[in-house]
Chain A
Amino acid sequence: MPLLTAILLVVSVLISVGPVAAETVYVSNEQDNAVAVVDGASMSLSATIDVGRRPRGLALSIDKKTLFVAVGDDNRIDVVDLAKRRVVGQLPSGADPEFFVVHPDGKRLFVANENDNLVSVVEIASAKVIGNVDVGVEPEGMAVSADGRYVACTSETTSMLHLIDAGTLDLVDNLLVDTRPRAAAFSPDAKRLWVSSEIRGTVTVFDTLTRAETGKVQFEVPGIRREGVQAVGIEMSRDGGTAYVALGPANRIAEIDTATLAVRRLYLVGQRPWHVALADDQRRLFSANGNSGDISVIDLENEEVVKSLPVGRGPWGVVVGP
């Protein structure tokens, strides 16, 4: 037992002080019909992968060997082999997929179809839509709890957060949220559900089980009117202690203490950040900035933006892989 503890200690020290592990950042460029590949060590653009038209949502497979990319104008999901760095397959999705999640079972995607008020369930192996869930108008944000039990979906025009049982595909609940909800995110323990509102510029937190609202985050950005502060993408730290929220036209990323819901700080990034993603070691955060065509790299330990890297036109989604 002491030996095991010692080994664990050594390993954890190695992890925390060791060099940055090989890491790749993938960014969907909405206006370029491409995914930019950024080498995480050198922070340079290493490749561009052509995909279908208007790529936005993207996610890694559970084994992290495949990247799924929602290409809205082609009404499908492109499947990218990350070793070959090219599209090797397509999945159906329903009309105008914008955002989707990979279920922890590794077998299914849950896709928000913005144009037909459905969440489609896609079986990856058979490349078939195996189920649909009726939700509100313009489904947009998607989240899945780490235990795989729940999928959450926001509907922009209906201003609702829909909680779906991932097994039965029943709607568990529909919660009224602030105007034009965008992203949803579960806390790592699945006890809390976060949802951002673009028009209100707020983030509301719910208790997943009781569906009671447990708090609301407002953002004050000096010099920017409330209409200019719009909450979009949410990224949760692995320990659940911190959440990062992209504030769109306010050109800021907010860092939030999830226990107190206090905004710890705002990072000034490129123009109109849509989504954010954490590095595997949780020390860096990347934001995809739609209007300035770059990603911002935030050093979270030193609390500063350390780099802007041009990646193409209309960066929207961002994920970090090996």
Chain B
Amino acid sequence: MEILLLNILNGLSWGMLLFLIAVGLTTVFGVLGVLNFAHGSLFMLGAYLCMQTMQLFDSFWLGLLIGPLCAVFVGLLIEKFLLKRVYGRDVSFQLLLTFAVLLILDDAVRVIWGSGYHVVEPPAILNGIISVAGQDYPVYRLFLVLIGPLIGGLLWAFFHYTKWGKIIRAASFDNIMAEGVGINVPLIYTSVFALGTWLAALGGALAAPQQSLIPSMGEKIIIESFIVVVVGGMGSFPGAFVGALMLGLLESFGTVFAGRMQMAIPYILLAVILLVKPTGLFRKGV
């Protein structure tokens, strides 16, 4: 019973991180039509920038605030100078361009911060162990389980109740029509990419105290976020949530029932969903 509960908590905390990454990825895809290979690298960049800010100001919360904002600046440069030129081009060019960005970001981080591990301490208030059903459990993971739905809820409210959110949804459904009624679509594209970058980098900053920082940390998470996005339905907001939780829980329980083959679970999930329901669990629409 305790094992069950711990696995659920582990699955949820990992799932919530995945959700933050995947929701940015799926929103960018839904609006811009580009599947961003470099999204995982922006996650990684967020973690490193959070660490750097923490070293300067000695505060995790400032790192969480400033780190992702610095990453957004990088994201804006990427959209303005690179992505802008491949909208409407063939998928292979878009994938390869964002793959090139991934290579550049990963190696640049390696040059700046070195290829070794870095560790980020959680803030004192979250740095401890709490007893869950008689088992010791890190407080920080519980914090992740709570912060995921919080950010998800805020985003959902933003998309549904604010003017900007509605404009973005309109542009994702039909960008030509949106342009026709006077919406500045290129500006929307830039802002959506900035939002996606912020979400990825925030995910990275939140993940920093939970895992060691290495330049390749984005490569594992990008493939899993691809899976979440495809499973949930490309461009779907609720899909990203459900897909991320499914994958998080499956992986967490996989260590119990699949042993070494646990590594294959995400890919099996991807294949099964694509075969049964190629468009994913949810329809497009942020």
A, B assembled together:
no
Q: Identify the A interface with B (CB < 8 A).
A: none
